[in-house]
Amino acid sequence: MNYTQLTKEKKAQIDILLEQGLSMRKVASILSISHSTISRYKAGIYKKRKINIEEKYDIFLRYLYSHYDYKVCSIEICVFKFKRNYWNAKCPSVKQVYNWINEVKVKLLKKDLCYKKHRSSRSNMMSHTKWNLDNKTVLPIRLRPKYINKRDEIGHLEIDSILGKRNEYGSILSIVDRCSRKVWLIKAEYKNEYYINKTIYDFMIRNEILVKSITVDNGIEFSALGITAKKLGVKLYKCDPYCSFQRGTNERTNALVRRFIPKGSSMKYVSQYYLDNICFEINSMPRKLFDYKCAYDIELKYN
């Protein structure tokens, strides 16, 4: 392919026409050259030229330094007011100003900003995931030790959620001890996994529940429960999909709860006080399994 480089005369003509406000395509049409040639030419000049921010945006920077106040006048407000009052002066975008601050090209520092930069939830989640992998906190149920199946010590818990009407955000979190069959019920207003995790953790700490292991299903609401397991220093075992029999104690206890709150009932007006009463009734109920002793008796036996 035959091509010729731009001569000094052509470059001067391009600079003059562009300074007059013509577009690259218009200049290319006038000079009978390709507009991509002009684009590459201007890009090369931009790379070679080191932009002096203090000179190019002198008026804006003086305005920024004198008006910025993290309490009442943010970067966005400064840019907005500057554009409105100094419409004929060069003004950078808000993002460009933040880039300057991050690259320490201006006198403002990150600590001077209105909003401090926090680590994203994604990075937090990834750190928890890495910790779980390194310390084997979240494991499939097939790796759960056999001695837990013997049910001869308290502290091995199963957790599940009891739903109400369709399209309702509220639910009940059911916690059952595999050994004593003691149950705790928690009112949950939302189904967000981090909300569920915090609700369960706070409830366990507040009620001083002994925890040696946790078994849950694969519900999305329990996807962040590994954080609680990490804080408590225990293992979290996840059941296989569509295998509710792997949490038989939980499912059977939920059936007892349904005697008080029938399936399809709304959870909107169910209070925590009412749930505590249900727990007392179930935990006080004699069980044929325990020779007609209740869950409280079994708990005392192993304590």
Distance between alpha carbon 236 and the CA centroid of its chain, in Å?
20
- The count of C-alpha atoms lying within 13 angstroms of the C-alpha of 170, restricted to the half-sphere facing its C-beta, is 14
pLDDT in the model for residue 1 = 45
What tokens were used for 39? 């684009």
- The yes-or-no verdict on residue 187 having pLDDT over 60 is yes
CA nearest 161: which of 267, 296, 236?
267
CATH topology of domain 131-302: Nucleotidyltransferase; domain 5 (3.30.420)
Overall average pLDDT of the 204-231 stretch: 92
Among 37-46, 99-108, 177-186, 272-281, the range scoring the smallest mean pLDDT is 37-46
How far apart, in whole angstroms, are the C-alpha atoms of residue 46 and residue 49? 5
pLDDT in the model for residue 185 = 96
**What is this structure's pTM?**
0.56
How far apart, in whole angstroms, are the C-alpha atoms of residue 227 and residue 271? 27
Model confidence pLDDT, tens digit, residues 109-121: 887 786 655 554 4
pLDDT in the model for residue 131 = 52
Average pLDDT, the chain: 85
Do strands 183-188 and 235-238 pair parallel, antiparallel, or not at all (unpaired)?
unpaired
How far apart, in whole angstroms, are the C-alpha atoms of residue 271 and residue 259? 16
3-class DSSP string for 144-186: CCHHHHCCCCCCEEEEEEEECCCCCCCEEEEEEECCCCCEEEE
CB 105 within 8 Å of CB 52:
no
pLDDT in the model for residue 121 = 47
Confidence of residue 126 (pLDDT cuts 50, 70, 90): low
Overall average pLDDT of the 82-102 stretch: 89
How far apart, in whole angstroms, are the C-alpha atoms of residue 163 and residue 254? 10
CB 207 within 8 Å of CB 241:
no
> Could you give the percent of the chain with pLDDT greater than 90?
36
Backbone phi, psi, residue 41, to 5°: -65, -45
pLDDT in the model for residue 101 = 87
Overall average pLDDT of the 246-260 stretch: 91
CB 162 within 8 Å of CB 175:
no
Model confidence pLDDT, tens digit, residues 29-79: 888 888 788 888 777 655 544 457 888 888 999 999 998 887 778 888 889
How many Cβ atoms sit within 10 Å of the Cβ of residue 153? 15
